[in-house]
Chains A and B, each alone.
Chain A
C-alpha cells in the first residue's frame, strides 16, 4: 500500500459539490454560454474561464453511453455486476461517470432514464451516490 501523509483542500467548487453530496444534493456550475457542467469544475475545461455560479441539478438523468462490468474489480466500491455509464442529469449539459445497477446488459440501453441511489451514511465523497437505478419508463 502506497500512501501520502498529507491532505488537500478541495476548494470552493469541488468542495461545494462534495458537501452537497453529503446533504443529498447534486450541484453543477453554469458556464459563460449558459450551459451547466456537472460535476462542476473551477475553470471551464474548454475556455479556461473561472466559473462561480453553482446550480442544483436533478437526481435523475439519461444514460448517454454504457459498458457492462460483469465482475467488479477489487478496488471498485460495488459488490455486484453493474454498468458503467456516462449520465447526463436533468438540468445539466455534460455527463458524469457512475454505476447503473441493472440485472443484466439486456436491461441497459443508451437513452434510458436512471435515478441516483444515496448511501445512508454520507461523508462528502463521490461514492455517497451508491449508484443509479434504472427508472421504469412506465412509472416515470
Chain B
C-alpha cells in the first residue's frame, strides 16, 4: 500500500529513554507516558478508536507480558486493541491501516522495552534461525560485524565514514534530553577506539536504553482540531528480506529500498530523516537505500539509535521525533524509518508532511 485513502496524522508524542530504569516495571514507567501523550491532546482512553502496542516477551521474560501494560491504559469500558511482537512502529502501521478501513478517527499506539536486566546483544540471538544459528548464540554485535567487514572490504564504506556517522550522532544527541550517549567525540578519537568485535568499535554500536513512547493518531478534521500543525502520514510501507543471512546481500538493503519506493520518499524534497540504524553500518546502508542526500536532508537530528536505543520502541520514537519537528516547523517533509531483525532484515518507511 502506498497512497493512503484517508489523511491520518501523528498529533501527540511522549517518550522516555534512560540508560536503565531500575526499580520500575515496564507498566510503571509506561502509565505516566501514556497519560502524558493523551493529556497533551485532551483525550482519554475512551476517546481512542483503537489501541495497538509493540513489545517483546523475550525482554520481559514472561508470556503475554503486554497484557499488563494494556491494563495500564485504563481499558474500562472494554477497548478495541491489538499487539505486535515487533517494534511499536509496526503497531502504528496496524493502527493506520485500521483507520484507513474507516469507522474510527483516532488511535493510540505505544512501544516499550526494558533491556537492562539482561544482555540485549545475547537475547537478540534468539531472533535467529532456531536450528541452524541460535544454538551457537551469535550476539547481535557479532552478526553486524560480519556485515561490516563485507561492507569495508568490498569498498562499500570506509572506517572513517563510519566514524563520521558516529560523531554526527554524538553531536546531535547533545541537544536531545532523551539521549544516553551524548559525550562529543571527534572522528579521530572514534577511530582510535579499541575494537569491541573487530571491525566494530564502541561508537559503532547502539546506545542501549530502557524506556518507551506513546503516540496518538487522528484522521482528517479530528487531527486539525487536536493539533495546530498535524504531521500527516503521506505514505507508509514495510518490507522484509530473507531471514537467512547466508542468502542475502548484507552490503545493501533491498527491503528498505522497496519500502522507501512504495512510501514515496523520492516524490519530493526531504528536510529531515529519522533512521533507526542500530549500528553506524546500518545508518550508512539506510541513507543509500532511501536515496537521501546528506547535503539537503538533516540525518537523525535526535542522534538516532546510536544515541539511545530502546528495543521495541526505537522505530516508533523515530516517527515521533520526525512528527514533532513537523509540528514545530523545523521541516515540512520528513522521513521516519524503523527496522527489526538481524542486519536490517525488516524495514518500515513513513513519510510525514506538514500543511
Q: Is A110 an interface residue (CB 8 A)?
A: yes
Q: Does A73 contact B136, Cβ atoms closer than 8 Å? A: no
Q: Is B142 an interface residue (CB 8 A)?
A: yes
Contacts of B132 in A (CB 8 A): 14, 39, 96-97, 126
A97 to B147 Cα, complex, angstroms: 12
Q: Give the A-B contact count at a CB cut-off of 8 A.
A: 92
Kindly provide the distance from the CB of A62 to the nearest chain B CB, expressed in whole angstroms: 12
Q: Does B153 contact A45, Cβ atoms closer than 8 Å? A: no
Q: Is B27 an interface residue (CB 8 A)?
A: no
Q: Does A45 contact B137, Cβ atoms closer than 8 Å? A: no
A135 to B9 Cα, complex, angstroms: 59
Q: Does A97 contact B198, Cβ atoms closer than 8 Å? A: no
Q: Which A71-129 residues sit within 8 Å CB-CB of chain B? A: 73-77, 84-86, 88, 94-99, 105, 110, 125-127
Q: Does B242 contact A67, Cβ atoms closer than 8 Å? A: no
Q: Does A125 contact B135, Cβ atoms closer than 8 Å? A: yes
Q: Does B122 contact A65, Cβ atoms closer than 8 Å? A: no
Q: A68-B198, A77-B136, A77-B137 are in contact. Are A45 and B244 (CB under 8 A)?
A: yes
Interface centre among A41, A67, A74, A76 (most CB of B within 10 A): A67
Contacts of B147 in A (CB 8 A): 65
Q: Does B137 contact A41, Cβ atoms closer than 8 Å? A: no
Which chain B residue has the least Cβ–Cβ distance from A8?
B130
Contacts of A18 in B (CB 8 A): 131
Kindly provide the distance from the CB of A13 to the nearest chain B CB, expressed in whole angstroms: 10
Kindly provide the distance from the CB of A75 to the nearest chain B CB, expressed in whole angstroms: 4
Q: Is A2 an interface residue (CB 8 A)?
A: yes
Contacts of A57 in B (CB 8 A): none
Q: Does B136 contact A76, Cβ atoms closer than 8 Å? A: yes
Q: Does B245 contact A97, Cβ atoms closer than 8 Å? A: yes
Q: Is A69 an interface residue (CB 8 A)?
A: yes
Within 8 Å by CB of A94, from B121, B149, B243, B247, lies B247
Within 8 Å by CB of A66, from B136, B149, B247, lies B149
Q: Does B197 contact A68, Cβ atoms closer than 8 Å? A: yes
Q: Does A97 contact B136, Cβ atoms closer than 8 Å? A: yes
Which chain B residue has the least Cβ–Cβ distance from A14?
B131
Q: A45-B242, A86-B246 are in contact. Are A67 and B137 (CB under 8 A)?
A: no
Q: Which A17-35 residues sit within 8 Å CB-CB of chain B? A: 18
Q: Is B341 an interface residue (CB 8 A)?
A: no
Q: Does A46 contact B242, Cβ atoms closer than 8 Å? A: yes
Q: Does B146 contact A84, Cβ atoms closer than 8 Å? A: yes
Q: Does A65 contact B131, Cβ atoms closer than 8 Å? A: no
Interface centre among A38, A75, A85, A96 (most CB of B within 10 A): A75
Q: Does A95 contact B149, Cβ atoms closer than 8 Å? A: no
> In which size bucket is the chain B interface?
20 to 34
Q: Does B242 contact A74, Cβ atoms closer than 8 Å? A: no
Q: Does B137 contact A73, Cβ atoms closer than 8 Å? A: yes
Q: What 1/0 flags go to B105-140 for Cβ under 8 Å of A?
A: 000000000000001011001000001110111110
Q: Does B246 contact A97, Cβ atoms closer than 8 Å? A: yes
A24 to B150 Cα, complex, angstroms: 30
Q: Is A10 an interface residue (CB 8 A)?
A: yes
Q: Is A55 an interface residue (CB 8 A)?
A: no
Q: Is B155 an interface residue (CB 8 A)?
A: no
Q: A77-B136, A110-B149, A126-B131 are in contact. Are A2 and B61 (CB under 8 A)?
A: yes
Contacts of B136 in A (CB 8 A): 76-77, 97-99, 126-127
Kindly provide the distance from the CB of A107 to the nearest chain B CB, expressed in whole angstroms: 13
Which chain A residue has the least Cβ–Cβ distance from B242?
A45
Q: Does A86 contact B135, Cβ atoms closer than 8 Å? A: no
Contacts of A74 in B (CB 8 A): 122
A110 to B133 Cα, complex, angstroms: 21
Contacts of B139 in A (CB 8 A): 73
Q: Is B145 an interface residue (CB 8 A)?
A: yes
A51 to B97 Cα, complex, angstroms: 35
Contacts of B125 in A (CB 8 A): 75
Given contacts A73-B122, A110-B149, 9 further A-B contacts (CB under 8 A): A45-B247, A76-B137, A86-B245, A86-B246, A88-B246, A95-B246, A97-B138, A127-B135, A127-B136
Q: What are 8 pairs between A and B in contact, CB < 8 Å?
A: A39-B132, A66-B146, A67-B199, A75-B122, A88-B246, A94-B247, A95-B246, A97-B246
Q: Which 4 A-B pairs have the closest CB atoms?
A: A67-B145, A45-B242, A95-B246, A75-B137
Q: Which residue numbers of A lie inside 8 Å of B, CB to CB?
A: 2, 10, 14, 18, 37-39, 41, 45-46, 64-70, 73-77, 84-86, 88, 94-99, 105, 110, 125-127
